[in-house]
Structure 1
C-alpha cells in the first residue's frame, strides 16, 4: 500500500500540525515499499553509472534522480534529460544554463557528468545524498496531493534555507528564486505580488523583490532566510495570502470572517 499522509487541516493550522508530525510521517514514507525499493536500487547501482545514457536507460535510477530535484514529470523525456546531463553546466551556452527553470542546472551540476575528473556518481556519500533528497521530495509530492499550498511551503522552507547559505551573490540568489517556479510562487505570494508581475523587466522585478522583502521580512537579501524565524514568517505570510485569495469577496467582511473561522477551527482542534 502506498503512503497516505495525514493532513486534517489546511492553512496555518495545517502547517503547525505538519511541522509536529513530519518526522514520523517522513519515516513512514521512507519505509513504504515503492520508496524503499527505489532507494535501495539507486544505492546499489548508481556507482556503476558513468554516462548520462546509462542513467536514463534505467527507469528506476532515473525515477530517483529526477525525483530528488522535483523533476519527476520529465521521467519520459529521456532525450531531453540526457542532453541536460551531457552538456552539464560548465559552458554558459549549455542547455541547463539557458533554461528559465534553474532546477535543471542544479540537477546537472549535482551529477557532474561533464566534469573532467568524472561524474559525481562514484563520490563517497553521493548515493545517500540523492536518496535523502528523493525521500524528502517524495514526501512533498504526497502532501501536495492533499494540499498543494503545503507542498509549496515545504519546498520553500528547504530551498530558502539552502539558497541562503549558498556561496553566491545576493543578486544571483534572487535570480535563482525568480527562476525556480515553486519557490517563486511562494515568495511572490508572500510579498503580495500579482501574477502579472512576472511580465516586467527582470531588473525591475529584482528591485521589487528586494524592496518588499526588506519591508516585510527585515532584509532585502536572501541570506536573511538562513534564520528559521524569517523563513517561518515567509511561509505564514504565503499561507495567509493563499487563504485570503480563496475567500469569495461577496461582502466587505468576507475575508475577515473566513480567517476568524479558520482561527476558531484551529483552536478547537488544538493545533
Structure 2
C-alpha cells in the first residue's frame, strides 16, 4: 500500500504543517512498496534502453519516465510519446519545440534519444536523476489526492524557481506562466483573477497579470520570484484566496487574513 500524506488542515495552516513534515513524509512515501518496485525496476533496466521505441514498449519503464515529468496521463499515448522522444530537442522543427507544454521538452531533453547517437539512458547517474524526479512528482500527486491546492503549491516552488532562471525576457516568462495550467491556476487565484481572463487577447492577459502582480507584490516582473520569500508570499495568497473562494473556512477569518496580506485594511 502506498503511503498517504498527512495534511491535518486545509489552507495556509495545512501548508505550514506540510512544509515542516515534508522531508519525513517524502521519505516514508519513497519506502512504499509500489514506489520501491517502480524505482528498482527502472534502475535495473533503463541502461538497456537505447531508443524511444524500446522505452515506450516497456510499460514499467515508461511509467517512471513519464511520471518523473508529471506526464502520467500519457501512458497510453505511445505513438505521440515516441515521436516526442525520437525527435529530440536540437532541431527547431522537433515536436517538443512546438508544444506549449514544456514538460515534453524536458522529457525529450533528459532522455536524449533524438539528440545524441548514444542516449543519456546509459549514463551512470541517469537513473538516480529520473527516480528522484519520479518520487517527488508522485508524492505531489498523493498530496493532491488529499488536497489539490497543496499539490499546486508544492509544484509551484520548483517550477517557478526554474522559470525565473530561463534565458528569456520577462514577458516570455509571463507567457510561460499563462501557458502552464498549474502555474496559471496559482497566479490567477492569488491575483484574484477570474478564469475567463484566458479568453482575452494574449497581450491583454499579459497586461492584466503584470498590473495585478504590481498591485500585490509591488513588482510586475516574474524575476522577483527568484526570492524564496516572494514565492512563499505567493503561495500564502493563493491558499488564503482558495479557502475564501471555496467557503471551507470562516468567511470573516479568511477575509481578514486576506486583507492583512494584501494591505487592504
Question: What's the TM-score, normalizing by structure 1?
Answer: 0.87
Q: CA deviation at 1:38?
A: 1.1
Q: CA deviation at 1:56?
A: 0.7
1:87-117 superposed Cα distances (whole Å, 9 cap, x missing partner): 2233333323333322222222222221145
**Stretch moving more, 203-212 or 7-16:** 203-212
**Stretch moving more, 28-37 or 197-206:** 197-206
Any idea what SS the aligned residue of 2:164 has? helix
* 1:132 alignment partner in structure 2: 132
* 1:86 alignment partner in structure 2: 86
In the alignment, does 2:51 pair up with 1:55? no
Partners of 2:87 and 2:115 within 8 A in 1? no
In the alignment, does 2:214 pair up with 1:255? no
Q: CA deviation at 1:172?
A: 2.6
Any idea what SS the aligned residue of 2:3 has? coil
Any idea what SS the aligned residue of 1:177 has? helix
Q: Which has the higher contact order (CA 8 A, sep 6+)?
A: 1
Distance change >3 Å, CA 83–CA 41, structure 1 → 2? same
Q: Distance in 1 between matches of 2:175 and 2:106?
A: 14
Query: Gaps spanning 5+ residues in structure 1: where?
Result: 249-253, 262-271
* 1:189 alignment partner in structure 2: 189
Q: CA deviation at 1:20?
A: 0.6
Q: Distance in 1 between matches of 2:144 and 2:89?
A: 30
Partners of 2:85 and 2:113 within 8 A in 1? yes
Query: Gaps spanning 5+ residues in structure 2: where?
Result: 258-265
* 1:267 alignment partner in structure 2: none
* 1:251 alignment partner in structure 2: none
Q: Distance in 1 between matches of 2:12 and 2:252?
A: 15
Partners of 2:88 and 2:96 within 8 A in 1? yes
**Stretch moving more, 166-175 or 149-158:** 166-175
Q: CA deviation at 1:201?
A: 1.6
Partners of 1:178 and 1:184 within 8 A in 2? yes
Q: Distance in 2 between matches of 1:257 and 1:20?
A: 23
Any idea what SS the aligned residue of 2:207 has? helix
Which residues in structure 2 correspond to 1:171-190 (within 5 Å)?
Answer: 171-190=171-190
**Stretch moving more, 39-48 or 21-30:** 39-48
Q: CA deviation at 1:218?
A: 3.3
* 2:260 alignment partner in structure 1: none
Partners of 1:103 and 1:180 within 8 A in 2? no
Q: Distance in 2 between matches of 1:92 and 1:202?
A: 23
Structure 1 residue runs of 4 or more that deviate by more than 6 Å after TM superposition:
none
In the alignment, does 2:163 pair up with 1:163? yes
* 1:141 alignment partner in structure 2: 141
Q: Distance in 2 between matches of 1:194 and 1:169?
A: 26
1:103-141 superposed Cα distances (whole Å, 9 cap, x missing partner): 222222222221145322223422211111111101100
Q: CA deviation at 1:162?
A: 1.7
Partners of 1:102 and 1:179 within 8 A in 2? no
Question: What's the TM-score, normalizing by structure 2?
Answer: 0.89
1:56-106 superposed Cα distances (whole Å, 9 cap, x missing partner): 111111111111111101111111111111222333333233333222222
Q: Distance in 2 between matches of 1:190 and 1:64?
A: 32
Partners of 1:65 and 1:134 within 8 A in 2? yes
Q: Distance in 2 between matches of 1:74 and 1:192?
A: 32
